[in-house]
Amino acid sequence: MGLTLAQLASHLGCEFDGDAACLISGVATLVNATAGDLSFLASSKYRADLAATQASVVVMADRDRTVFVGNVLIAKNPYLIYARAAQLFYPEMLHDGGIHPSAVVDPAAQIDVSAWVNALCVIGPGVIVGANAQIGAGCILDSDITIGRDCRLLSNVVIHGRASLGERCVIQAGAVIGSDGFGYANDRGKWVKIPQVGGVVLGDDVEVGANTTIDRGALSDTIIENGVILDNQVQIAHNVHIGEQTAIAGCTGIAGSTHIGKRCAIGGHVGIVGHLTIADGVQISAKTFVSQSIDNAGFYSSGTPLEPNARWRRNFVRMKQLDDMAHRIKMLEKMIHKLSNDV
Amino acid sequence: MGLTLAQLASHLGCEFDGDAACLISGVATLVNATAGDLSFLASSKYRADLAATQASVVVMADRDRTVFVGNVLIAKNPYLIYARAAQLFYPEMLHDGGIHPSAVVDPAAQIDVSAWVNALCVIGPGVIVGANAQIGAGCILDSDITIGRDCRLLSNVVIHGRASLGERCVIQAGAVIGSDGFGYANDRGKWVKIPQVGGVVLGDDVEVGANTTIDRGALSDTIIENGVILDNQVQIAHNVHIGEQTAIAGCTGIAGSTHIGKRCAIGGHVGIVGHLTIADGVQISAKTFVSQSIDNAGFYSSGTPLEPNARWRRNFVRMKQLDDMAHRIKMLEKMIHKLSNDV
Amino acid sequence: MGLTLAQLASHLGCEFDGDAACLISGVATLVNATAGDLSFLASSKYRADLAATQASVVVMADRDRTVFVGNVLIAKNPYLIYARAAQLFYPEMLHDGGIHPSAVVDPAAQIDVSAWVNALCVIGPGVIVGANAQIGAGCILDSDITIGRDCRLLSNVVIHGRASLGERCVIQAGAVIGSDGFGYANDRGKWVKIPQVGGVVLGDDVEVGANTTIDRGALSDTIIENGVILDNQVQIAHNVHIGEQTAIAGCTGIAGSTHIGKRCAIGGHVGIVGHLTIADGVQISAKTFVSQSIDNAGFYSSGTPLEPNARWRRNFVRMKQLDDMAHRIKMLEKMIHKLSNDV
């Protein structure tokens, strides 16, 4: 599929500069672009890459246009316009509605005629699959599950535990939604399982990464609001609540009943303990350990710096002496003030 | 299903106070409970929630009963009694014995007539499935695997590597048991795979979380003793041995040949290096890095505190100077003692 | 299968000492070995285990042979020779070529006649499976995927996103290759998905652990070079590039566009942020946080030591005061020098 620069600019709502009839049919990085590609300058610091690019048009901020002689699309947020252009040139390939003959579908499931259920899926009783939804091969939707219209499940996704997905959710392969939460009472040294009877509610436009796990609630539901995006191998425990448009990067784990605000950005490999409240608009850098609630928007971190191992070992030992060092500094201050007075 | 308060108290072995004929049919939190629900006061600090609860009965410690006017069940461990009540009101839904016609079962597998094998499972030769076991949709039991009676495997579980499960184990969706351990020798810069020929032995009442992985042993077996509970996305490497009734929270990884004691409680996102020994009764807080054996029961931790990013950056830099700071403190102490003597 | 010690020595290219006719048919640890087993002494520090071993032959370094009266194979790298012997005694069990009747194979897929496709696989259009490849039960190869000759996929592996595997790759169960990268632009507070249209290229002899995830590139490809070994639950983000023979242990995550050199050894639970460059030959210890590029080979670490929780809490608080402590030490040094001059 190709569009002229003028058509593309009109579609994307951008001003353009250059050859209105130039044909664009794909996107690529500045370095890899060839004729017919749209590329983008995400930041002025990459200006050097403009000189050699073969892109037919480059999306850039107004301040950068003077340094480029080729076709340009002007945008306040070039990365966003690149995203929109990529959506245009690489639309999702949707199957027509239907159910693959190898799928095992319970008679008490309701699959919209426009939805596609791929090979070797298992769809249990009480499952509702909405219009145009795409259920990838090998998915298992256990029972009493609702999949909103235009949802897209990649392969081998498992959903159980009375989960409900809003519209346009995308669930990557191997994700598990609705597994039992980690709830046990202890009876004189032996673990007693607490039945997990809550559900999972995903809003609209939620994205869930590959092999990510979201537990069902213990009694009430685990809730993921509209527009939340979860990367691969994220672990969401029972009764967690995540506010809308929050992004969580790979390998992060959130323990039970923690409430994360809206529009948070949480880095990879972060660990957040249970029963906390994280305010709206909080950013947390990668590998941070969050052991207390965060009341105000802002950027938070923890962790220690990378060092050559030999030097790290020396500093590592000293960390056990920190409190002692602090006391010794205080003592030195007292002594020196006394001495200063004495002299 | 409903029980009178008197019946429930008798079943749970608790003293009760209030309307013996009151009907109870479910459990809920104090805040969400409606008529017919049992709720619980896990700790006196939640007493404030009692005032507005609609629960028909609340399980609580004897010391708390004076503050509540409704029906009560008295328990030393209210959380445990809540667990037992929830088991009563929400029993597992078990399928009758049988094999779904879409499952692929090797003629050399032995499936007990009372066991249920759901759709699209693959059961290989030499697999033994015990009485009343429930094998979820899409599970793959490769070959020479034993599943004890009353085990419950959720969907898409994979077991290979000569694994054996005791009785009443619960394996959540997407878990992999018996994958090859990460064993390689190095031949002048190239990795040479070491065949992993050990097995995995799970005791009775073991629970394995969603997308958790347990490697088979290299030569001898990986061993998970009775009553161990593993949360989601836990990684257990080859030849690890975990003692009975130990609990391990999500995203924790345990490297090869480490031996964890009995009744340990290990937080989420903990990393334990290989070839260590952790004593019985050790508790480890979330995100701790364990690089040495732990010889005595107790509560252990590592990690750095969360701070606003700007302040963290200043302290972060200083961590590289800790050894230097310690030397300077020592030098200051020497100088000040000399000065004190001189003055 | 059994070999005489002489045959085995010849096959492994080792010198031997002892009964040339002794029959060897398996491998075991020094402690567990019985008659007929080969065992190995990986390091002189385990010499004490030699006394009681029942092994029929022990592989060891020349310097250790004097302490053992039994049959020995002499090797510079005993662990490597053990690996080679284990490969000999425990060869992979390969299925003859064929496609299980329950597999769903698109007519436009090309499966070599010598390849084996196990039960309930889904093989899409444009998939090419090379000679002798073994595709485990429940694997889903979406479309336009190339599997090189002699690859071995365990159960429930999912591959999509235009991925290509070289020869002799081993992919453990539940791994996902070719999931969408975590790429979004932000439009006034709402996430806009960026189509991920790059592929994944695995070289020859790559090993991928259970439930490990490798994202496809955003525009260009994610690249894993020859001989890379990835443990379980590793997360490789879009456009990461990993150099040949690099090893990455379990639960480690590598963020987008980071370039890891050749022959690196990266421990478990390591987090590496995006857009970094890690030199060839870098070793990183477990649980390290890598937030900057590493320009030179060497051994690097970060992290804090394990302590009893009460002591840790005291030191934990002090970490927030580190910058303050450093300033106070500097002030003390100034004061004491002034005092020394004054006295």
Residue B305: inside a domain: no
- Reading the block at residue A72, the tokens are 């340009």
Q: How far is CA A337 from the centre of its chain?
A: 55
User: Which band of pLDDT confidence, cut at 50, 70 and 90, is reported for residue C246?
Assistant: very high
Mean pLDDT of C100-122: 98
**Residue type present at position A10:** S
| Nearest-neighbour CA in chain A from B37: distance (Å) | 11
Element (H, E) at C178: strand C176-179
Element (H, E) at C311: helix C309-319
Residues of C whose CB is below 8 A from B189: 245, 263
User: Which band of pLDDT confidence, cut at 50, 70 and 90, is reported for residue A246?
Assistant: very high
pLDDT in tens, A64-78: 998 899 999 999 999
> Does the structure show a pLDDT above 80 at B343?
no
pLDDT value of residue B151: 98
pLDDT in tens, A272-287: 999 999 999 999 999 9
> Does the structure show a pLDDT above 90 at A341?
no
pLDDT in tens, B101-121: 999 999 999 999 999 999 999
CB of B114 within 8 Å of a chain A CB? The answer is: no
CB of B321 within 8 Å of a chain C CB? The answer is: yes
> Does the structure show a pLDDT above 90 at C110?
yes
Q: Given the DSSP bridges, would you call strands B3-4 and B23-24 parallel, antiparallel or unpaired?
A: antiparallel
| Nearest-neighbour CA in chain C from A68: distance (Å) | 22
> Does the structure show a pLDDT above 70 at A155?
yes
Angle at C206 between CA C200 and CA C211, to 5 degrees: 75
In DSSP terms, C300 is beta-bridged to A308, C284
pLDDT value of residue C341: 86
Q: Quick one: CA torsion of A248, A254, A259, A261, rounded to 10 degrees?
A: -20
Say how many CA atoms lie within 13 Å of C189 toward its Cβ.
7
Residue A269: inside a domain: yes
Say how many CA atoms lie within 13 Å of C27 toward its Cβ.
26
- Reading the block at residue A241, the tokens are 């609540």
Residue C215: inside a domain: yes
> Does the structure show a pLDDT above 70 at B1?
no
Q: Which domain holds residue A72?
A: 3-89
Taking CA atoms, B253 is separated from A182, B164, B249, B269, C226, in Å, by 17, 22, 10, 7, 26
Q: Are A339 and B336 in contact (CB under 8 A)?
A: yes
Q: Are C145 and C200 in contact (CB under 8 A)?
A: no
- CB within 8 Å of C182: residues ≥ 6 apart: A209, A229, A231, A232, A249, A250, C215, C237, C238, C256
Distance in angstroms (rounded) separating the CA atoms of residues A261 and C130: 49
In DSSP terms, B176 is beta-bridged to B158, B213
Indicate whether A61 and A172 sit together in one domain.
no
> Does the structure show a pLDDT above 70 at A299?
yes
Q: Are B130 and B112 in contact (CB under 8 A)?
A: yes
CB of C22 within 8 Å of a chain A CB? The answer is: no
Indicate whether C185 and C64 sit together in one domain.
no
Which pairs with CB-CB distance under 8 Å and at least 24 residues apart come from A278-283? A280/A243, A283/B309
Residue C305: inside a domain: no
**Residue C229 φ then ψ, to 5°:** -120, 125
Residues of B whose CB is below 8 A from C120: 104, 120, 122
Mean pLDDT of A175-200: 97
**Residue type present at position B296:** N
- Reading the block at residue B198, the tokens are 């050990």
Chain mean pLDDT for chain C:
96
Is A275 catalytic? The answer is no
Indicate whether A41 and A176 sit together in one domain.
no
pLDDT value of residue C43: 87
Among candidates B80, B162, A172, which has minimal Cα distance to C215? A172
CB of A213 within 8 Å of a chain B CB? The answer is: yes
CB of B119 within 8 Å of a chain A CB? The answer is: yes
Say which residue the tokens 């009676």 belong to: B149
Distance in angstroms (rounded) separating the CA atoms of residues B43 and C301: 42
Residues of C whose CB is below 8 A from B281: none
Indicate whether A333 and A204 sit together in one domain.
no
Indicate whether B84 and B143 sit together in one domain.
no
Residue A196: inside a domain: yes
Taking CA atoms, B45 is separated from A68, A184, B66, in Å, by 66, 20, 14
Q: Do the chains contact at C251 and B235, CB–CB below 8 Å?
A: yes
Angle at A199 between CA A194 and CA A202, to 5 degrees: 145
Q: Please tell me which residue of chain A has the smallest CA distance to C285.
A: A309
Q: Which of these three, B45, B60, B89, is where a domain ends?
A: B89
Angle at A23 between CA A19 and CA A28, to 5 degrees: 105
Percent of chain C with pLDDT over 90: 93
Q: Are A149 and A167 in contact (CB under 8 A)?
A: yes
Indicate whether C261 and C116 sit together in one domain.
yes
Q: Do the chains contact at B314 and C323, CB–CB below 8 Å?
A: yes
Taking CA atoms, B174 is separated from B143, B210, B213, C61, C174, in Å, by 18, 5, 9, 43, 7
Say which residue the tokens 């085990």 belong to: B151
Q: In b/e form, how buried is each residue of B127-165, taking b as 16+ CB within 10 angstroms?
A: bbbbebbbbbbbbbbbbbbbbbbbbbbbbbbbbbbbbbb
Taking CA atoms, A197 is separated from A200, A218, A221, A247, B292, in Å, by 10, 5, 9, 27, 40
Taking 3-state DSSP, the helix, strand and coil percentages for chain B, each rounded to the nearest 5, stand at 20, 30, 50
Q: Is B266 exposed, middle or buried (0-12, 13-18, 19+ CB in 10 A)?
A: buried
Distance in angstroms (rounded) separating the CA atoms of residues B168 and B227: 10
pLDDT value of residue B341: 86
Q: What is the complex's ipTM, to 2 decimals?
A: 0.96
SS3 state of residue A280: coil
pLDDT value of residue C303: 95
Indicate whether B207 and B319 sit together in one domain.
no
> Does the structure show a pLDDT above 90 at A1?
no
Chain mean pLDDT for chain A:
96
Residues of A whose CB is below 8 A from C195: 86-87, 89-90, 92
Residue A162: inside a domain: yes
CATH number at residue A160: 2.160.10.10
Indicate whether A190 and A249 sit together in one domain.
yes
> Does the structure show a pLDDT above 90 at B214?
yes
User: Which band of pLDDT confidence, cut at 50, 70 and 90, is reported for residue C1?
Assistant: low
Q: How far is CA B265 from the centre of its chain?
A: 9
Among candidates A249, A232, A241, A255, which has minimal Cα distance to A287? A249
pLDDT value of residue B44: 86
Indicate whether C41 and C182 sit together in one domain.
no
pLDDT value of residue A262: 98
Indicate whether A113 and A44 sit together in one domain.
no
SS3 state of residue A171: strand
SS3 state of residue B35: coil
DSSP tag of B57 = E
Q: Are C173 and C155 in contact (CB under 8 A)?
A: yes
| Nearest-neighbour CA in chain B from A140: distance (Å) | 7
- Nearest Cβ partner for A336 among B84, B100, B336: B336
| Nearest-neighbour CA in chain B from C38: distance (Å) | 12
Q: Are B8 and B58 in contact (CB under 8 A)?
A: no
Beta carbons within 10 angstroms of residue B333's beta carbon: 15
Q: Do the chains contact at B82 and A182, CB–CB below 8 Å?
A: no
Among candidates A131, A132, A136, which has minimal Cα distance to A119? A136
Beta carbons within 10 angstroms of residue A152's beta carbon: 20
DSSP tag of A97 = S
SS3 state of residue B50: helix
pLDDT value of residue A342: 79
Taking CA atoms, B44 is separated from B59, B62, B153, in Å, by 12, 11, 37
Count of domains in chain B? 3
Q: Are A234 and A171 in contact (CB under 8 A)?
A: no
Indicate whether C314 and C287 sit together in one domain.
no
Q: Between A and C, how many CB-CB pairs are < 8 A? A: 235
pLDDT in tens, A18-34: 999 999 999 999 999 99
SS3 state of residue A216: coil
Mean pLDDT of A190-215: 98
Distance in angstroms (rounded) separating the CA atoms of residues B158 and B177: 6
Residues of B whose CB is below 8 A from C306: 288-292, 294, 300-302
Q: Are B249 and B266 in contact (CB under 8 A)?
A: yes
CATH number at residue C51: 3.40.1390.10
Q: Are A315 and B322 in contact (CB under 8 A)?
A: yes
> Does the structure show a pLDDT above 90 at A214?
yes
Mean pLDDT of A302-331: 95
Residue B204: inside a domain: yes
Residue A305: inside a domain: no
Distance in angstroms (rounded) separating the CA atoms of residues B343 and C340: 10
Indicate whether A80 and A102 sit together in one domain.
no
- Reading the block at residue C96, the tokens are 């003859």
Distance in angstroms (rounded) separating the CA atoms of residues A211 and A217: 19
Distance in angstroms (rounded) separating the CA atoms of residues C282 and C259: 12
> Does the structure show a pLDDT above 80 at C343?
no
